[in-house]
Amino acid sequence: MSNYKPYPSMLSALLLLLVTASAVSAQSKQRPPNFIIILADDLGYGDLGSYGHPTIETPYLDQLAQEGTRFTQFYVAASVCSPSRAALLTGRLPVRTGITGGLGVFFPHSATGLPHTEITIAKALQQKGYHTGIVGKWHLGSLPDYLPTHYGFDEYFGIPYSNDMEPNNAAHIPYPALPLYKGNKVIEENPDQRLLTQRYTTAAVDFIKSNKDKPFFLYYPNNAPHVPLFASPAFAGKSKRGQYGDVVQEFDWSVGQIVKTLKELKLDNNTFVLFLSDNGPWLTQHENGGSAGLLRDGKSSAWEGGTRVPAIAWWPGTIPPRVSTAITSSLDILPTLLHQAGATVPADKPIDGVDITAVLTGKNDTVRTIIYYYDSDKLYAIRKGSWKAHFSTHSGYSPQPPQQHATPLLYNIENDPSEKEDVSSSHSDIVAALQQLYTAQLAAAPVAPSELSRFQPGELNNAFQQFIQKRKEQAASAAPATK
């Protein structure tokens, strides 16, 4: 008689199948979250419907704000492109990384980029097994050794600097052809900018679909709505706000396509999406620039309109739908994402950001109380709690020299976000405390050598020298006469 016993064997196989399925399910639940950072270029605090704009229609971002957390007091670490982007990706103030001085940002003839000693979000997540990609504008170095793939990004599709750094530019600077990169190769020169947002969107969606089965980090810094303004035929002429509104509305659509893709792939409950702007609106561009809403001034200033930006965080099931008045900063993104990924925050250098997980989850609205406002390598203002002191003031792109204040201007920034009423004369104790904080910060954050002052010699550098000299002469002629 045979000793073959089929039923116990089948039972064992079934048990093994159940255990395996359970293990796969557990592994799926333990999978680290995906991260998507969507960065606008020169979008103002007042340029979205959810932030009060009366005519620019941004239904997708407004829905993102309804489903997630909309921040009313979110700051970036600089009021212009390159230093702001460096701070976002490293969690470090630009004075520490050397992304200060020079012409303010990187240009096509810059000789360097972000120092390779810096650890970016992408590099830290890459070391944790994340697949990383950037779609859009880099602006942290354009020479081969300073492209995104040298900073932790596995994939790159986009332009290396601002979209106005092209041959056909308003300043008549002899720029080279604007390159469009895929990886480390230029695949096109002077691309049709009307179609860039469409192409970026396709690339971003493809990246998500290609990496749906593993943790990924997507950094999507669109060059919109930085001038010159371009919208595709589907959006051109559609906004009541004119061409600027067209560009913002197309970017809004782009965000909508990304969120739609996440939902279709059932990745939404495991993906943290953050939308923000790199700095305030470029007000000197007039109708081609945006609006800071009720905030004072804009890009290239230490007034609130320069560095307080729209910011929306979305992660269904983790980030609750609400409006947060917490003081938060783009510096906080690196430590927060690394915490969520189980990665280690770099310990060999000062990190100026803090983990804001408690804010994102709605458990705490007071994680940081201090914001430092730098203009290039100079500390212009400090906010602590509801109080903001200006030690120097300068309107964005004004030809007039900055004003130094022996007694800092003082504003209660929560009562007076428009910075209209200087109350320093009635709060000398607060002024004194902020002056002490100012002195301490100068000692705590010494200025690193400027990377933005290093250029390649040649025709472009010569043209810039002439351009700068002409602007100095114009500023001198515009300055008030001294007695």
**Quick check: is 81 catalytic?**
yes
Amino acid identity of residue 28, one-letter, is S
Say which of 139, 226, 390, 394 is annotated catalytic: 139
Q: Which residue bears the tokens 């609106």?
A: 281
**Quick check: is 427 catalytic?**
no
CA distances to 20, 189, 246, 302, 367 from 82, rounded to whole Å, are 49, 22, 25, 16, 26
Q: Over the Cα atoms of the chain, what is R_g?
A: 24
Terminal-to-terminal C-alpha distance of the chain: 120
Report strand pairing: 131-137 vs 216-221. Answer: parallel
Q: Which residues are catalytic?
A: 81, 139
